[in-house]
């Protein structure tokens, strides 16, 4: 069902140009379909700010539930921004205090760029915790991505992330561990998911505190988990929202950091992502950099376009299916009046009725 263009955010036009159905408000008002209001907290750095908008909005807009999805983007002034990103946020994003008054049915918390060893020392920690504390009492469900997952499980369950010896970076095979949970109904029992993080929590840590891992990888550990009640918090450690080229862009940024002398070694490939043809192109570029011996004035451009045509997206369909299930569950239990969390008769401690089964 369609997204509703409830602002002049350029991402709406971008999604429409990609074939996504986006309704203008006048057309939306003529349809007798229930609304769901989804907040998206975007904490990603400037380079990924608008891409993150598109990625999460694309997942929401791909849901096939009979509903109109109003997406409300917001962020924090505590996150350092360049002038362009600040202007974008000021023009198109909403104020969280206003959203609290109007009410939301569910919230998505994006990841963020970890800069400090202690997550609670990050500049966004306090405002993020304010959103978490409000959302756990005033929305049906909070979906957390990567660093947001680490922050929430530490705040609410005391689970400490740990730093990996090497960055977890690539596309990993996952298997379903709790096939009966409605969040993963009708999806493949084995599927791929991208990961990109230097800190991690594992399935054993979550299970010890009563959280329920739903999808786990032998190489990358937990990808998807839920809070003990089954719905209030959804945790992704991977990135189902990533585009096919998201890891390529990350790899290019690391190559640029090497060329600029910021990193001392050539970056490793994201695991299970570049196939032979793509690696050949990238190896050729690496040799060109090495031959330049520090004089990069005549270095040819990074082969973005050529490599992009050689990478496969093996995770989006499953990601869309999980988000579709999630929004369907929110639709089932959310009260029709914004500001009231659950429909009458829904048990906040067991909103999906899982304990009855």
Catalytic residue among 63, 146, 150, 250: 146
Kind and range of the H or E run holding 178: none
Distance from the first to the final alpha carbon of the chain: 31
Q: Assign 3-state DSSP to the chain and report helix, strand, coil percentages, each to 5.
A: 40, 20, 40
Active site residue 260: no
Catalytic residue among 70, 72, 223, 239: 239
Q: Which alpha helices (H) appear in 122-233, and where do they start and end? A: 125-138, 147-157, 203-208
Scan for tokens 């998911």, then name that residue.
193
Catalytic residue among 53, 94, 200, 241: 241
DSSP for 26-38 reads HHHHTS---EEEE
Active site residue 181: no
* Number of C-beta neighbours around residue 193 at 10 A: 24
List Cα–Cα distances, 107 to 16, 34, 121, 233, 330, in angstroms. Answer: 23, 18, 23, 10, 11
Pair of tokens at residue 108: 């998505």
Active site residue 223: no
131: left (phi over 0), alpha (psi -120 to 50) or beta: alpha
Ordered strands of the 68-74 beta sheet: 22-23, 3-4, 68-74, 35-43, 106-112, 141-145, 233-236, 221-226, 212-217, 162-176, 190-200
| Residue among 96, 94, 92, 95 at smallest CA distance from 84 | 92
Residues with active-site annotation: 146, 239, 241
């Amino acid at each position: 069902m369609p997204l509703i263009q409830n602002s002049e955010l350029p991402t709406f036009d971008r999604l429409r140009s990609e074939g996504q159905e986006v309704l203008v408000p006048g057309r939306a008002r003529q349809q007798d379909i229930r609304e769901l209001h989804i907040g998206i907290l975007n904490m990603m750095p400037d380079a990924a700010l608008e891409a993150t908008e598109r990625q999460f909005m694309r997942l929401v807009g791909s849901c096939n539930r009979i509903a109109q999805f109003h997406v409300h983007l917001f962020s924090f002034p505590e996150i350092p921004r360049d002038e362009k990103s600040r202007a974008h946020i000021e023009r198109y994003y909403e104020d969280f205090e206003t959203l609290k008054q109007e009410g939301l049915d569910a919230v998505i918390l994006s990841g963020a760029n970890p800069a400090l060893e202690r997550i609670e020392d990050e500049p966004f920690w306090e405002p993020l915790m304010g959103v978490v504390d409000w959302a756990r009492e005033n929305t049906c469900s909070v979906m957390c991505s990567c660093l947001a997952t680490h922050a929430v499980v530490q705040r609410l369950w005391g689970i400490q992330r740990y730093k990996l010896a090497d960055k977890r970076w690539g596309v990993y095979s996952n298997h379903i561990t709790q096939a009966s949970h409605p969040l993963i109904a009708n999806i493949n029992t084995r599927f791929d998911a991208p990961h990109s993080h230097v800190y991690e929590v594992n399935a054993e840590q979550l299970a010890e505190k009563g959280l329920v891992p739903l999808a786990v990888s032998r190489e990358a550990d937990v990808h998807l988990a839920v809070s003990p009640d089954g719905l209030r918090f959804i945790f992704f450690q991977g990135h189902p929202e990533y585009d096919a080229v998201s890891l390529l862009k990350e790899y290019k940024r690391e190559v640029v950091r090497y060329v600029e002398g910021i990193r001392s070694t050539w970056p490793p490939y994201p695991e299970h992502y570049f196939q032979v043809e793509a690696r050949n192109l990238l190896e050729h570029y690496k040799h060109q950099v090495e031959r330049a011996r520090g004089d990069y004035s005549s270095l040819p451009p990074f082969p973005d376009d050529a490599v992009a045509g050689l990478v496969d997206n093996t995770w989006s369909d499953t990601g869309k299916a999980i988000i579709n299930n999630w929004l369907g569950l929110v639709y089932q239990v959310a009260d029709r009046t914004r500001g009231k969390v659950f429909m009458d008769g829904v048990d906040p401690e067991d909103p999906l009725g899982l304990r009855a089964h």
